[in-house]
Amino acid sequence: MMPVVRLVPKYTDSNGWWETLPQAPSPRVLSGQIRVQTAIIGGGICGVATANRLAELRPSDEFCLIEAERIGNGASGRNAGFMLNLHSHGTPKKLDILRRNIKLWEAGLASLRRKVEEWQIPCDWSNDGRFYGAAGPDGEKHIDEIAETLDQLGHDYTWFDQKAMRERIGTGFYSRGLHAPGNALVNPAALMRGLARNLPRNIDVYENTPVLGFERESGAFRIRTAHGTVLAERIVLAAGAFLRQFGIGVGKFVPMGTYASLTAPLNERALAHLGTGQEFGLLGASAYGATIRLTRDKRLFVRNLFNFVPGAPLGAARVAEIAKLHRKAMAARWPALAEEPFEHSWGGVMAFTLGNGTIFGEYQPGLFAILTHDISPMTRGEAAGGLLAEYMEKLDSDLLSVQLSIPAPQRLPPRPFLDVGVALKSAYLHYVAGREF
């Protein structure tokens, strides 16, 4: 049974990372019929990383990368821009899983760093690390758990007391902070655009070209889009939270929306309320705490809320409602900036699995799929994409063995039990995030 896609990504909100970049060149939309050895569907971090490595490994093959939206305007270009080497909330109980994940996160981060340097991608890459901020008794407990995990892993960090936090980021909202080095901060839309622009020449990139389905035809796949067709010997499905539309991962991951807002560049008066006024990235000590950034061009970024998004991403009107939560979070931290307007508010959908499982491999002859999920998905996706290409070419490496050791995701309960379970867990995590939300 070959898939018919019923839901394709379409955003009506305003992704600040994308909108504040110079205008992108017009997209190349697929029309007519083309033939390639391998078609990659989905131009997020997984799809772009897989395409890049495959094309390197098979320089005389022809590839195409087909993206429903613009590359840089899907989830991989809508996130908070933390390219993480390590991230963990909760008690440090599963260190073996964490150590395994760290290998993948570090490999992904190193690969991104190498590409950004080599290709001179202007994405405001910063190596300044990240803060965790604790507010309230639960936050205090959670930040101690983070420190304990870092201790057990032998990773460096520095404590910031309330006064030091106020001096650095201008607010006494956080009773304690912890600064950990190692990760990068970026403008993710700029990163994705740059990665796509530097793909090897044997990859044709098509954007604004949603794939509507595919079927097998004389040993190949016939991929259908609105105005064109691709005949491909192999397909890589890298459609992120939309993977289920292709019949892969159904009942295996939860599509969760999360939302962000970005101010205009702050003037001197507003910046005076932000401590040193230097760029920073801060994650809540609690899992559902707000993510805050001061960007290189002096905009404040706020992300919070997770909600179950079984259908299309929320439209601009719902996102505008959610932006009120961003304003509340900003006002709680910097009362003097309570009226600072947001220029852009947007949302994106990411995938959460049960039990840290993954989707990676060949699901039918010639049909491969990949999903990056849960924690630090950008660096993990960069690593997994390269590894999927190596797996497809039957190469072997220690890192590939690590990736292959990750189990498939556990099956989720059916709806409506899933809806109830997700709602209860989200409500609990929002509750314990308390003031950090």
Ligand X SMILES: Cc1cc2nc3c(=O)[nH]c(=O)nc-3n(C[C@H](O)[C@H](O)[C@H](O)COP(=O)(O)OP(=O)(O)OC[C@H]3O[C@@H](n4cnc5c(N)ncnc54)[C@H](O)[C@@H]3O)c2cc1C
- SS3 of the chain: CCCECCCCCCCCCCCHHHHCCCCCCCCCCCCEEEEEEEEEECCCHHHHHHHHHHHHHCCCCCEEEECCCCCCCCHHHCCCCEECCCCCCCCCCCHHHHHHHHHHHHHHHHHHHHHHHHCCCCCCCECCCEEEEECHHHHHHHHHHHHHHHHHHCCCCEEEEHHHHHHHHCCCCCCEEEEECCCEECCHHHHHHHHHHCCCCCEEEECCCCEEEEEEECCEEEEEECCEEEEEEEEEECCHHHHHHHCCCCCCEEEEEEEEEEECCCCHHHHCCCCCCCCEEEEECCCCCCEEEECCCCCEEEEEEEEECCCCCCCHHHHHHHHHHHHHHHHHHCHHHCCCCEEEEEEEEEEEECCCCCEEEEEECCEEEEECCCCCHHHHHHHHHHHHHHHHCCCCCHHHHHHHCCCCCCCCCCCCHHHHHHHHHHHHHHHHHHHHC
For the CB of residue 245, give the shortest distance to ligand X in the complex, in Å: 6
Figure out which of the listed residues 16, 43, 129, 170 binds ligand X, where binding follows CB under 6 A.
43
Q: Answer yes or no whether residue 133 interacts with ligand X by CB under 6 A.
A: no
Q: Answer yes or no whether residue 238 interacts with ligand X by CB under 6 A.
A: yes
For the CB of residue 130, give the shortest distance to ligand X in the complex, in Å: 9
Per-residue binding string, ligand X, 204-233, x by CB under 6 A, is: ------xx----------------------
Nearer to ligand X, 83 or 270 (CB): 83
Per-residue binding string, ligand X, 350-389, x by CB under 6 A, is: x--------------------xx---xxx--x--------
Q: Answer yes or no whether residue 30 interacts with ligand X by CB under 6 A.
A: no
Q: Answer yes or no whether residue 66 interacts with ligand X by CB under 6 A.
A: yes
Per-residue binding string, ligand X, 84-113, x by CB under 6 A, is: x-----------------------------
Per-residue binding string, ligand X, 167-206, x by CB under 6 A, is: ----------------------------------------
Residues 296 to 355 in contact with ligand X, rule: CB under 6 A? 303, 348, 350
Using the contact rule CB under 6 A, the part of the chain among 73-81, 133-141, 263-271, 390-398 near ligand X is 73-81
For the CB of residue 270, give the shortest distance to ligand X in the complex, in Å: 23
For the CB of residue 384, give the shortest distance to ligand X in the complex, in Å: 9
Binding site for ligand X (CB under 6 A): 5, 8-9, 41-47, 66-69, 74-76, 78-82, 84, 210-211, 238-242, 245, 258, 260, 303, 348, 350, 371-372, 376-378, 381
